[in-house]
Amino acid sequence: MKKIIHIDMDCYYAAVEMRDFPELRDKPIAVGGSRERRGVIATCNYLARQYGVRSAMATGYALKLCPDLQLVPGRMAVYKAVSAQIHEIFHRYTELIEPLSLDEAYLDVTDCPLFQGSATRIAEAIRRDIARETQLTASAGVAPIKYLAKVASDVNKPNGLFVITPQSMPTFIETLLLSRIPGVGKVTAERLAQFGWHNCGELQQVSKTRLVELMGKFGAVLYDRVRGIDERAINPSRIRKSVGVETTFANDLYGAESALAQLPALLSELTHRFAKHKAERQISKLVVKVKFADFQQTTIETRSHDIDQALASSLLSQALARGEGKAVRLLGVSVGLAPLALASMDSPEQLSLL
C-alpha cells in the first residue's frame, strides 16, 4: 500500500505578501488585477474569502463584494523563489515529487525510512520545516492513493493535517461528496445530482456501463474513484500537455472584426512560448477560447501541427458565432502538445466542441 502526501500551501501568493508586508495581515487582500484595468484575482487571503472573494474572480466583482479589498500586484519572481525553498524541503524526505503548481505537490513517501516510515509524522515534519524556514503555513493530506490525499489536504485547511488510513478509507469514501472528487466540477456535480447521486456511497450502486453511458470516459474514472481505486503513480517529471496565452481586455470587444484583429498578437506570443518546447514536443491541436462579457465562455479545437493564423481565425469565427453577437471580454489561444514520435500526422480535422 502506497503512502501519499499532498501538500498545499495556504493562500500562497497572498500569504507571501502578508509575510513580507506585515501591515497587510489584518486586511482583506487579493493578488492580481487593479482598479483601473480589468483583471482577475489570482488568490486572496482568508479574510477576503469571508466576503465571498475567490480565485479566478473578476477584480471588479471582487471589489463589489469587498469594497475594502486591498489589491496587491503579483511578484512572480518572489513566489518562484519561495517555491524553490519549499521543494528543497520536499527533497529531504523523498525524490518522488510531482509538482502541480508553485504551491502544491504530491509526494510518495512509501519508502522513506524517517520516523519509522510514518507518513503522518513525515507530513508533520514537512509542515514544521516549511513554517520555520519560510514563515508560511501548509496544509497536508495523507492517504494510500493520490486523489484522496488531495481531498484530505483540504479537510483541515488552513494550516492543518488530515490522515486517511487504509482502514478508514472505505468509511471516508462512502460519505464523501462527489463534488469533492478532483475532476468533478460544478456542472458534473449538478448532472449527477439530477440522478439522485450526491456522495460516493450512492454512486457505488451504479454499474460501470451506466456511468460510461452517461459520462463517457470520465464515467469509468468515477466508477474507480468511488471505490477507492486510483492506480496513478507519482510522476516526478510531469510532461507539459499544452501551451497557451490569453488576454482579458480593458474594454469589451464588439463585433467579430475587433476580435479577429487581436489574433496576430496572441499567435505571435503563442509561437514564442511554444519555441521553448519545440525540441521535444510537437503541436497536436489548436485551441481557441472566448469569454463573453456575461462571463459565459466557449472553446473550440481542431487537430493541427502548426500555429496557423487562417485556421485560428476560422475557429475564432465559429466560437464568436456561439455568442450571438455578445461582446467579448477575453480571448485565448493554445496548442496541445504531443511527443515527437506520437503526434498524429493526419490532416486537420475537428475534434470536439465544448
Q: What is the predicted pLDDT for the residue at 250?
A: 81
pLDDT single digits (tens) 195-245: 999 999 999 999 999 999 998 889 999 999 999 999 999 988 766 788 999
Range of weakest confidence among 96-105, 139-148, 165-174, 342-351 = 342-351
In CATH terms, 242-353 corresponds, of 3.30.230.70, 3.30.1490.100, 3.40.50.20, 3.40.50.280, to: 3.30.1490.100
Can you give the pLDDT at residue 37? 62
Residue-level pLDDT at 238: 67
Q: What's the CATH superfamily of 169-225?
A: 5' to 3' exonuclease, C-terminal subdomain (1.10.150.20)
Q: Which of 250 and 348 is assigned the larger pLDDT?
A: 250
> How confident is the prediction for the chain on average, in pLDDT?
90
Asked if 126 and 138 count as a contact pair (C-beta separation under 8 A), the reply is: yes
Mean pLDDT of 280-292: 91
Give the residue, 182 or 280, on which the prediction is more confident. Answer: 182
Cell numbers that stand for 228 in this block: 477507492
Q: Does 8 carry a binding-site annotation?
A: yes
- Mean pLDDT, residues 310-336 taken together: 94
* CATH superfamily name and code, 1-166: Reverse transcriptase/Diguanylate cyclase domain (3.30.70.270)
Burial group, residue 294, by CB count within 10 angstroms (0-12, 13-18, 19+) = exposed
Nearby residues of 176 by Cβ (< 8 Å), 6 or more positions away: 151, 199, 200
Cα–Cα distance list, 58 to 37, 72, 254, 332, 337 (Å): 11, 14, 19, 16, 29
- Same CATH topology for 1-166 and 169-225: the answer is no
Which of 9-18, 24-33, 331-340 ranks highest by mean pLDDT? 9-18
**Of 17, 98, 104, 301, which is the active-site residue?**
104
The domain segmentation of the chain, as residue ranges, is: 1-166, 169-225, 242-353
The listed range with the strongest mean pLDDT (20-29, 287-296, 341-350) is 20-29
pLDDT band at 264 (very low <50, low <70, confident <90, very high): very high
Q: pLDDT value at position 52? A: 96
Q: What does the pLDDT read at residue 38?
A: 65
Among 27-36, 39-48, 82-91, 100-109, the least confident range: 27-36
Mean pLDDT along residues 167-177: 97
**pLDDT at position 352 over 50:** no
Q: Catalytic site residue 301? A: no
In this model, does residue 349 exceed pLDDT 70? Answer: no
252: nearest Cα among 289, 290, 287? 290
**Among the listed residues 164, 83, 161, 166, the one whose alpha carbon sits nearest the alpha carbon of residue 122:** 161
Q: Is the pLDDT of residue 342 over 60?
A: no
Distance CA 116, CA 104 (A): 25
Q: Is 231 exposed, middle or buried (0-12, 13-18, 19+ CB in 10 A)?
A: exposed
Is residue 103 part of an annotated ligand binding site?
yes
Residue type present at position 258? S
